[in-house]
Each structure stands twice: as C-alpha cells, then as structure tokens.
C-alpha cells in the first residue's frame, strides 16, 4: 500500500477587474466554474528524480533531477508543476522520488486560470501527502509564489484567491483576502473558447510596461474598472439580483478591456455581439485577452439561440448550468497506486 494525495481546484471567470491586482492592489469580482484541475502526488522508492505527468488535454511528461528542481532551474514543459514542487518540498531529499500527475477539464491558456488551478491543486496535494493541513490562504500564497516568483509570470493575487476559495467573490489584492458574494452566480454561463491561445506571461509583460510608462488609456482603465467592480459587487449583493443590470455591467467591462486595454480580438468581439443578439444578457472576455475565451450570461430560454449563433465560427462552446461553489478540495487515499507507464 502506498500513500497518495489528490487535490482539485476549479478554474475561474473574471467578471470584472482584470489586472487591478497588480496595477493598484485593487479588487476584482470573480466566479469559479465547474471545470477542475486534479493533481495526484505520491512518492516512489529509489529515484532521485521529480516525475511530472499531465494527461488531458496536453499529454506531456517531464523528468527533472531533484537537485535541478531544488536549484530552481526551469525551462521544461511542466514548469508550473515543478515550481509547485519546489515551493513546497524545497530540498533535494524531499523532492527525490516525488511523482505529480495532473489532468484538467479546463481549456488551457484561454483566460480561465488553468495555471492557477494547477499550482493550487499541486501545492495542496503535495502538502497533504506530507501530512500537512494547510490553511486556504497558505495554499494561495504558495501557489502564487510558484507562478509569480519561481516562474516570474508577473501574476497578481486574483487567480490564486479565486481558485482556492471558490464561489462568487470580491477578491482584494491589497490584503490579500476574499469577501464572499454568493456560492454560485444563479444564471447559466456559456463559455466560448476562440482557440487562439496565448501565454499570460508575455501578455502581462507588455501590459505592465504600458502601465509603468504612464499610458493614459491603461490608467483610465484602472480608474473605470475599479468603479465597475464596486457597481458589480453591489448588483450581485442585492437580495433579488437584476441580471439585466448585471449583464449591462459585464458588457461595460468588456468595452473597457476592448477600448482602453486593447486586449480583445475581432473574433472575441464577433462572438460577444452574436451572443447578445441571440439573447445573452452580457458577454465579456475573461483574463489576459489577446485570444482565449469569453463568457456570456444567458437565460435558460436563450441558450439554444446563443449556442446556434456560434455554430459557424471556429470556436468551442461550453454550457454551464451554474457556476462552481467549491474551491480547492482534497481527496487523500492510501490505495495502491501504479507509477504511470508514460514516464520514459
């Protein structure tokens, strides 16, 4: 019998306030989605390597010596998993023989925070394998350390707070902390992946340069998006949520990203317009932009027409009847596990 630990974490949609975390230490409104990344961790005897495996949808493996992991040498295909191992295990002796195996329901590099879901789940699985029961904020901090400090992606706090805590939240980068708004959004969500994938690291570097150099439109975005985050928080905290009003705030958020940050694409804008014409109450890109996914809030009776409106476009459509209340979750087992045969 060999002990293993499995943890999962959801992806997230940013409903309002992309980039405010690193721009001004500001707040954003997020919801997690019922698309999760699962990571299983265990130890094998007699190995001085860290073994990394990812299944759907990437199917990749990587073997890294425990020494190289401890020294922080990156450049492999599964750097996010390696970084999570380094921040938790730290020393070659603790790293050697560790196996991490991941799989995800999320579109990767599409603005739904697959990277934070992965680092959050990996950090949690590794800590539970060691018999630790980390507090949620500790998992958030370590997952961010893996991405932002180890891999220097430049990411703020939003994604990590969203994926660990789960539900519909106002996340605050200054503390960092989370103020719950509701367990779920209360309206179906259609995710439209434009299949134009990009890396957040590159996008963030150029956005950070523009903000740091005083770009007037980026600073106007920071002011207007902050006001929008407040308005959306109020709208979602109402005792009876007016989804028509919420949808119009979501549309305003998309217009700010499109017109001030300039990170939409013609295909995203076409999808958003078609979704609204077909009956969606609001549509907006999520995350870094320059490709990736948008989402639409769609009442039940408009779902067929919104789905149909995308049918002639080169996109993937996912329909979620509700959003996800649960953040990071753990399943520990002591069942026998087989070392994956895909490791070379």
- Contact positions toward ligand ADP, by CB under 6 A? 37, 54, 58, 78, 80, 102, 104, 108-115, 118, 199-200, 287
Place of tokens 């340069």: 209
Asked if residue 61 lies in contact with residue 341, where contact means CB atoms within 8 angstroms, the answer is no
Binder among 79, 145, 159, 324 for ligand PMV (CB under 6 A): 159
State the residue number with the nearest CB to ligand PMV: 287
Question: Taking CB under 6 A as the criterion, which residues in 110-149 touch ligand PMV?
Answer: 111-113, 115
Question: Taking CB under 6 A as the criterion, which residues in 181-200 touch ligand PMV?
Answer: 200
CB atoms under 10 Å from CB of 70, counted, come to 19
Q: Is 10 in the site for ligand PMV (CB under 6 A)?
A: no
Q: Which does 207 bind (CB under 5 to 8 A by kind): ligand PMV, ligand ADP, none?
A: ligand PMV
Nearer to ligand ADP, 52 or 228 (CB): 52
Nearer to ligand ADP, 26 or 111 (CB): 111
**119, 121, 127, 133: CA torsion to nearest 10:** 130
Q: Which does 19 bind (CB under 5 to 8 A by kind): ligand PMV, ligand ADP, none?
A: ligand PMV
Which pair of structure tokens corresponds to residue 31? 């919801």
Alpha carbon distance 202, 154 (integer Å): 9
Q: Is 204 in the site for ligand PMV (CB under 6 A)?
A: yes
Nearer to ligand ADP, 233 or 288 (CB): 288
Asked if residue 215 lies in contact with residue 260, where contact means CB atoms within 8 angstroms, the answer is no
Asked if residue 97 lies in contact with residue 46, where contact means CB atoms within 8 angstroms, the answer is yes
Nearer to ligand ADP, 104 or 194 (CB): 104
Alpha carbon distance 180, 299 (integer Å): 23
Q: Is 163 in the site for ligand PMV (CB under 6 A)?
A: no
Q: Is 314 exposed, middle or buried (0-12, 13-18, 19+ CB in 10 A)?
A: exposed
Nearer to ligand ADP, 66 or 147 (CB): 147
90, 129, 196, 198, 304 from 267: Cα distances, Å: 43, 44, 9, 14, 20
Give contact residues for ligand PMV (rule: CB under 6 A): 14, 18-19, 111-113, 115, 155-156, 158-159, 200, 203-204, 207, 287-288
């Amino acid at each position: 019998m060999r002990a293993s630990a499995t943890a999962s974490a959801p992806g997230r949609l940013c409903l309002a306030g992309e980039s405010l975390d690193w721009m001004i230490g500001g707040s954003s409104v997020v919801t997690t989605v019922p698309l999760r990344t699962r990571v299983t961790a265990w130890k094998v005897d007699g190995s001085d390597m860290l073994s990394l495996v990812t299944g759907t949808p990437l199917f990749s493996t990587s073997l890294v010596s425990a020494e190289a992991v401890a020294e922080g040498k990156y450049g492999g295909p599964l750097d996010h998993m390696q970084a999570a191992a380094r921040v938790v295990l730290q020393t070659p002796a603790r790293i050697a023989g560790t196996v991490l195996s991941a799989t995800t329901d999320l579109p990767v590099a599409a603005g739904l925070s697959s990277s934070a879901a992965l680092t959050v789940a990996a950090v949690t699985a590794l800590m539970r394998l060691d018999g630790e029961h980390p507090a949620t904020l500790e998992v958030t901090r370590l997952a961010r350390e893996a991405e932002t400090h180890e891999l220097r992606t430049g990411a703020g706090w939003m994604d990590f707070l969203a994926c660990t805590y789960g539900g519909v939240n106002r996340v605050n980068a200054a503390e960092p902390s989370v103020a719950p708004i509701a367990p779920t959004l209360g309206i179906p969500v259609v995710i439209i992946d434009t299949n134009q994938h990009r890396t957040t690291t590159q996008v963030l570097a150029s956005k950070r340069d523009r903000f740091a150099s005083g770009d007037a439109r980026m600073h106007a975005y920071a002011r207007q998006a902050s006001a929008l985050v407040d308005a959306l928080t109020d709208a979602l905290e109402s005792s009876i949520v007016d989804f028509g009003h919420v949808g119009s705030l979501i549309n305003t958020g998309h217009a700010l990203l499109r017109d001030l940050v300039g990170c939409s694409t013609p295909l995203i804008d076409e999808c958003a317009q078609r979704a609204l014409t077909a009956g969606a109450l609001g549509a907006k890109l999520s995350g870094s932009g320059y490709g990736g996914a948008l989402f639409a809030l769609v009442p039940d009776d408009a779902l067929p027409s919104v789905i149909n409106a995308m049918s002639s476009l080169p996109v993937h459509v996912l329909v979620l009847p509700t959003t996800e209340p649960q953040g990071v979750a753990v399943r520990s087992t002591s069942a026998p596990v087989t070392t994956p045969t895909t490791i070379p």
